[in-house]
Amino acid sequence: MKKVVLTVVAGLAMHVTFAQKAELTSAILDFRNGKLDKAKTEIDNASKHEKSAAMSKTWFYRGEIYSALIDNPVYKKNAPADAPKIAYDAYAKYLSMDPKGEFAKTAAEKQKNLYFVIVNQGVNEHNAKEYDKALASFMQAASIKPQDTTAYVYAVNTAGVKEDLAKEKELHRKLIELNHQPLEHYIRMIYITDVKEKNPEGALKLVQEALTKYPSDKDLLREEARLYLDTGKGKEAIAKLENAANAETDPKLKSNYYAIIGNLQEKNKNADAAVAAYKKAIEIDANNYEAQYNLGAYYNNKAADIYVRTNKMDFATYQKQGKKLEDQAKGLILQAVPHFETALKLQPTDRSTMQTLSQMYAKLGRNADAERMNKMLDATPKK
């Protein structure tokens, strides 16, 4: 009796094993015959059964069938949304089970292709303004290859377009971790935190974090100074920059610090301190464009203020004071011109500098120079 029972049990086990393998065989045949709906059902079952799930071939064909579903114009409509990831994971499992198997080269190649299939799907969704779907696709792709930045770059752009600020900041942070143009992502995070979220304190913390990696970046230094001002810490900003300038040995960086100090002092209405800082920056590095331009602009703006006053004077007042004030204005313009001329040499396609020089030359009666500058303007394309 026992012998009969054992024989029956063994027979049932063989039947189950055969049935599971038969399901895999059917899936392969239906896949080859283009019956992808049936093949999907069969391969799903085969991947759940103990015996067939232990066969590497099951996972290769699961990848093949799901890949085919994505590409097929009839069946892709009913394919699960995560079909590319299912296919990718199936190929990965096959490679882990049989890294040198007969399908290993094909599986590895298909894996690479699937990543970009999902990314391209996201691009199409983004272009169709289906931003939620696009973001989901990019994040799915990122989960497949978490160390590749492509999907994250697309995703952060989509998050920005749909104004999902929290997600955008999360993705900028991820790209910083992956060392993908970290400075660019810090600057965007700072902007979001300061301008969009109205959180200057939080923005200041981000600037200070970024400065630990880019301690001499002038844009970050300027942002730090501005945010110190916005948070009522203007004196700390200037003191910090002065300490940094005193400690700096590189002439260009030292000059940059003083140019930023000058800009801050000017914003604080400390004109003498601003001029002194700009002059110090130029003394250290005469090729500091910002210092040259800003000092020239300071003198020119003072002259413009005087001309505004004289234009508003009645005839009697102008007769008494106007000429003297206009001479002062011309004196200021004479001080401004060399700085703008140097600035133009440093950035010879800057139209703003050309326009300002043209106007100043005209005020000084240097008509030939004004005409020369106008010709330069005409020959310089607008940006």
Give the contacts of 136 (CB within 8 A, at least 6 positions apart): 81, 122
CA distance 76 to 74: 6
pLDDT at 37 over 90: yes
DSSP label at residue 381 = P
CA distance 296 to 357: 10
pLDDT at 17 over 70: no
CB 144 within 8 A of CB 88: yes
Give the pLDDT mean for 123-149: 93
Look up tokens 């099951």; give the residue.
Answer: 58
CA distance 272 to 275: 5
Question: What domains, with CATH codes, occur in the chain?
Answer: 17-102 (1.25.40)
pLDDT at 18 over 70: no
Q: What pLDDT is stored for residue 10 in this prediction?
A: 44
Q: 3-class secondary structure for 94-140?
A: HHHHCCCCCCHHHHHHHHHHHHHHHHHHHHHHHHCCCHHHHHHHHHH
Q: What pLDDT is stored for residue 6 in this prediction?
A: 43
pLDDT in tens, 211-243: 999 987 878 887 888 888 888 887 888 888 888
pLDDT in tens, 177-206: 999 999 999 999 999 999 999 999 999 999
CB 220 within 8 A of CB 185: no
Which range is least confidently modeled, 17-26, 140-149, 292-301, 356-365? 17-26
pLDDT in tens, 99-125: 999 999 999 999 888 999 899 889 989
Give the pLDDT mean for 255-269: 90
pLDDT at 58 over 50: yes
Q: What is the mean pLDDT of the chain?
A: 90
- Whether the model clears a pTM of 0.85, i.e. scores above it, the answer is no
CA distance 115 to 140: 9
CA distance 292 to 271: 16
- Return the amino acid letter for 260: I
pLDDT at 157 over 70: yes
Q: Which residues of 202-226 are buried (b: 16+ CB within 10 A; e: fewer)?
A: bbbebbeebbeeeeebbebbbbbbb
Give the contacts of 230 (CB within 8 A, at least 6 positions apart): 194, 200
The three-state secondary structure class of 256 is: helix
